[in-house]
């Protein structure tokens, strides 16, 4: 029996990056379908959070995400450029955001095609792994999208022409996450139960095993 779950994900979240490849590997190894549900990062949804929130939060996220990447053996560097334009000293969010809307809308367009997980994994590696600078230029994104089995020109055309509908779907993703009982990413929701954080993957798998999660059967050639 194929199990299904939803993964709420942000392209600006280091913890989303640290989780996406592992969830993709799980979906490939087990009889499991994970639907990607992209959301806009908190900096876009609630920019006032950074002005009003605890000043220690950002410092801790940097510390914890990088030590998590070291423990997991997943290469990581803060993106160059950051998907969200923000002064990390003053925490002010820029009014003009040339990257994040493009990424999230393309992610939702990929999710429409049933390959959101693959898209998010490949694109996040380009943004977060530290293997390239200027991920937004040249063929970096195009190559990532191609590895996910998609065409970047097609996705970008859809992101531009259908932006309003895509944003409505993205807003619905955020509402569904909140309805499931959480607000942050990455969160996997399985049978209405949220598992928040890259450190809850094993727990989510444990719960799914209780519900019959089984390895995929290999089809002999």
The pLDDT tens digits for 9-25 are 999 999 999 999 999 99
Alpha-carbon distance 100 to 112, whole Å?
A: 18
Q: Return the sign of the alpha-carbon dihedral for residues 151, 36, 85, 201.
A: negative
> What is the reported pLDDT for 221?
52
Alpha-carbon distance 201 to 203, whole Å?
A: 5
Per DSSP, 95 falls in state S
In the three-class reduction of DSSP (H, G, I as helix; E, B as strand; rest coil), residue 30 is classed as strand
> What is the reported pLDDT for 191?
98
Question: Is 188 in contact with 5 (CB distance < 8 Å)?
Answer: yes
Which residues does 38 contact at the CB level (< 8 Å), separation at least 6? Answer: 9, 10, 11, 104, 107, 108, 111, 116, 120, 170, 173
Q: Please, what are the domains in the chain?
A: 3-210 (3.40.30.10)
> What is the reported pLDDT for 34?
98
> What is the reported pLDDT for 187?
98
E strands present in 30-107 = 32-38
pLDDT per residue as tens digits for the range 58-81: 889 999 999 999 999 999 999 999
Q: Could you tell me the pTM of the whole model?
A: 0.95
Query: Taking 60 as the threshold, does the pLDDT of residue 220 lie above it?
Result: no
> What is the reported pLDDT for 76?
98
112 vs 55, higher pLDDT: 112
Burial class (CB in 10 A: 0-12, 13-18, 19+), 56: exposed
Rounded to 5°, angle at Cα 116 from 110 and 118: 115
Q: Is the omega angle on the peptide bond into residue 186 within 30 degrees of 0, that is, cis?
A: yes
105: part of which helix (H) or strand (E)? helix 100-112
């Amino acid at each position: 029996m194929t199990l299904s779950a939803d993964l709420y994900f942000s392209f600006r979240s280091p913890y989303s990056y640290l989780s996406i490849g592992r969830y993709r590997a799980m979906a490939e190894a087990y009889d499991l379908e994970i639907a990607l549900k992209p959301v806009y990062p908190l900096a876009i949804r609630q920019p006032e959070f950074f002005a009003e929130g605890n000043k220690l939060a950002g410092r801790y996220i940097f510390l914890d995400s990088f030590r998590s990447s070291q423990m997991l053996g997943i290469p990581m560097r803060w993106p160059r450029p950051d998907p969200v334009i923000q002064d990390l000293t003053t925490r002010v969010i820029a009014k003009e955001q040339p990257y994040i809307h493009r990424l999230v809308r393309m992610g939702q367009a990929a999710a429409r095609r049933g390959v959101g997980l693959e898209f998010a994994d490949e694109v996040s590696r380009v943004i977060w792994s530290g293997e390239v600078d200027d991920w937004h230029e040249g063929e970096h994104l195009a190559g990532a999208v191609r590895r996910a089995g998609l065409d970047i020109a097609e996705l970008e055309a859809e992101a531009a022409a259908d932006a309003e509908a895509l944003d409505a779907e993205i807003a619905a993703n955020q509402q569904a996450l909140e309805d499931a009982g959480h607000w942050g990413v990455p969160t996997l929701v399985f049978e209405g139960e949220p598992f928040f954080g890259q450190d809850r993957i094993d727990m989510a798998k444990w719960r799914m095993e209780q519900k019959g999660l089984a390895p995929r059967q290999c089809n002999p050639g």
